[in-house]
Amino acid sequence: MKDNDKYFKDIIINTLEFIKIPSIETLGNNQYPFGEGVASALKYVLELCERLGMRTKNINNFIGYAEVGEGNEEIGIACHVDVVYVDESKWSVPPFQGVIVDDKIYGRGSLDDKGPTIASIFAIKRIMDEFKTIKKRIRIIFSCDEESGWEDIKVYKKYEKDPTFTIVPDAMFPVINAEKGILHLKIEVKNPYMWLKDIRGGEQINVVPSSCKVTFSSDIKDLINDEEDNPIRVFTGKSAHASTPHEGENAILKALNFVSEIEKLIENKNIFSEIISSLDPYKNKELFLEDHSGCITSNIGKIETFGNTIAIFIDIRYPVSFTKEHVIEKIKRYFEDIYLINHNSPLFVSTDNLYLKCLEKAFVSYTEKPFNPISIGGGTLARAFNNAVAFGPVLDPSENVAHKDDEFIRVETLIDAYNIYYLALKNILEI
């Protein structure tokens, strides 16, 4: 944290106040599409921006923005005011009280994304103080549905154009300029065996499943050491995000491997082992894709049986230089019944980008650290806009505690982000 600044105290106070608004999305209505809590959070930031002298607009409580400056060139800052669910019993401090302990601001949303949102607002205010005429428009966009379905972004795009360049203060420094494509597929295969009654596990396709239950026929209860008429085996694993499947233990894969072993003993066939192998990029070399953004990952997030059909739901994160058609074509060689559930195209912004150079200059001059762009398998609001990157606020990967219990942001991190965002905007205005 460098230098004293007249807005440091305001940033901290407003972050603490903002955290006190429990803006978890709830069942909405015509007036509050994402619930009253989210609407209250949107109202808070819009009123703050208005007091600071910015022009504001609320688009029917779906989304809002504040802006300054003039001209056709628009620099966007895309934040979000909604937060994820919290289990208060697992917190050591009240999650919606906004408390400081050992120079850490604790609370749900402190890091994701309320602290960085306030830092961005005051970075714009500092620009307003120092530039008599702002010849580009700077617009801070307040998403209300970032943690869920991004329905607010669809509404925004009905009324507004994408900014010329957009900064998303909701990730890591120095910058995330590559986000892999996200592909959700459902694959249906026939269950060829009477002894396999049911297999189901997982809850969300984008999560490594921690549990999977398999029900077998009583005909093979001796084979699986179970005396019940409909023997059941439950397999457990460890949850993780689908973008980093190696950090978890997939319970569905454990179950399928067990079924495969039974299949070999009874049928002398390898149908299930072939299913496993064909969906694993490290076993199926045809599916393995890699470029400068990293390698492809896959996660079987959910499985269920209906009738004699087994539905397998898979989350695939593929490198930025490939397409969804490229991936699907490789999987079609092994499965006939494939259904597209959801797709998000990859994001990539070259380091030669003029605006990205402005971010680099700001980061390096402030931190005196190298500017090494990051690629991720996850997704930020940068995907929602053309020519956008995620930029901070986290400098230390060990303190990336978004969505976790006892979420926090260091005061120093918050102020560092404020200073870097100010410098980045200043650099952009000067080109």
The two structure tokens encoding residue 42? 């949107």
The two structure tokens encoding residue 206: 């984008």
Give the range of the structural domain holding residue 419, as residue numbers without chain letter.
8-180+347-429
What sign does the dihedral 280-284-287-291 (CA atoms) show? Answer: positive
Q: What is the CATH number of the domain that holds 261?
A: 3.30.70.360
Co-location of 31 and 169 in the same domain: yes
357 with 334, same domain: the answer is no
**Pairwise CA distance, residues 21 & 39, whole Å:** 10
Same domain, 69 and 194: no
Residues 333 and 416 in one domain: no
Q: Provide the CATH number for the domain around residue 84.
A: 3.40.630.10
pLDDT given at position 219:
86
pLDDT at 227: 62
Please, what sign has the CA dihedral across residues 387, 157, 118, 102? negative
Cα separation, 330 vs 288, whole angstroms: 10
Ordered per-residue pLDDT tens for the chain, 431 residues: 555 678 999 999 999 999 999 999 998 899 999 999 999 999 999 999 999 999 999 999 999 999 999 999 999 999 999 999 999 999 999 999 999 999 999 999 999 999 999 999 999 999 999 999 999 999 999 999 999 889 999 999 999 999 999 999 999 999 999 999 999 999 999 999 999 999 999 988 988 999 999 999 988 888 877 666 668 999 999 998 898 999 899 999 999 999 999 999 999 999 999 999 999 999 999 999 999 999 999 999 999 999 999 999 999 999 999 999 999 999 999 999 999 999 989 999 999 999 999 999 999 999 999 999 999 998 899 999 999 999 999 999 999 999 889 999 999 999 999 999 999 999 999 99
Q: Are residues 45 and 165 in the same domain?
A: yes
Contact, 167 vs 75, CB < 8 A?
Answer: yes
Q: How far apart are CA 51 and CA 56, in angstroms?
A: 10
* Nearest-5° Cα angle at 36, 35 to 37: 95
**pLDDT at residue number 171:** 94
- Shortest CA distance to 235 belongs to which of 219, 215, 214, 216? 214
Q: Quick check: is 3 in a domain?
A: no
Same structural domain, 59 and 166: yes
Q: Are both 34 and 64 inside the same structural domain?
A: yes
Residue 2 lies in a domain: no
Give the start-end residues of each E strand in 4-92.
55-59, 63-68, 74-80
From 314, 344, 374, the end of a domain falls on 344
> What is the count of structural domains for the chain?
2
Q: Are 351 and 333 found together in one domain?
A: no
HSE-up of 40 (CA within 13 Å, CB side)?
Answer: 14
Please state the pTM of the whole predicted model.
0.86
In this structure, are 415 and 301 located in the same domain?
no
Indicate whether 143 and 255 sit together in one domain. Answer: no
Written as one string, the DSSP assignment of 399-418 is: G--TTSTT-EEEHHHHHHHH
Beta bridge partners of 183: 316, 343
Choosing from 277, 309, 344, the residue where a domain stops is 344
What are the φ and ψ backbone dihedral angles of 268, each rounded to 5 degrees? Answer: 60, 40
pLDDT for the residue 163: 98
Q: 1 lies in a domain?
A: no
- Picking from 344, 360, 389, the residue at the C-terminal end of a domain is 344
